């Protein structure tokens, strides 16, 4: 049996919040997942605790890093799929890794 589903073109890495919102409103999340455009993240164990701590502390320390262009594009694409900014996603990942390292 052949599929008649049309291939969904992913958003560009520079998509605005409004473009991301329109994209998500106009596509079935299950189809986005089937086509590999969106990835389900079921790991929510510490999300509420992390969110409360994150929201209670100011982001007043700055860290500048250099990445290969392709890594930056990948980060932006994953962030777009999660409907957040790339720097926010990087910050979340850094905090998650710090927590893992301190538990070791």
Q: Are 37 and 8 in contact (CB under 8 A)?
A: yes
In 10 A of CB 42, how many CB atoms?
5
The domain locations on the chain are 17-103
pLDDT at 79: 92
Q: What is the pLDDT of residues 11-55, one digit of tens each?
A: 888 888 778 888 888 888 888 888 988 887 666 666 667 666 766
Q: Are 97 and 86 in contact (CB under 8 A)?
A: no
Residue 48 CA to residue 73 CA, distance in Å, equals 28
Q: Are 66 and 24 in contact (CB under 8 A)?
A: no
Q: What proportion of the chain, given as a percentage, has pLDDT over 90?
A: 15
């Amino acid at each position: 049996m052949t599929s008649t589903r049309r291939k969904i073109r992913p958003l560009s890495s520079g998509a605005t919040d409004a473009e991301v919102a329109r994209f998500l409103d106009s596509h079935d999340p299950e189809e986005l997942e089937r086509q590999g455009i969106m990835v389900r993240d079921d790991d929510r164990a510490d999300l509420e605790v992390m969110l409360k701590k994150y929201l209670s502390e100011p982001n007043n320390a700055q860290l500048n890093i250099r990445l290969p262009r392709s890594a930056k594009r990948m980060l932006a694409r994953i962030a777009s799929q999660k409907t957040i900014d790339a720097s926010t996603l990087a910050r979340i990942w850094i905090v998650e890794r710090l927590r893992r390292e301190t538990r070791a």
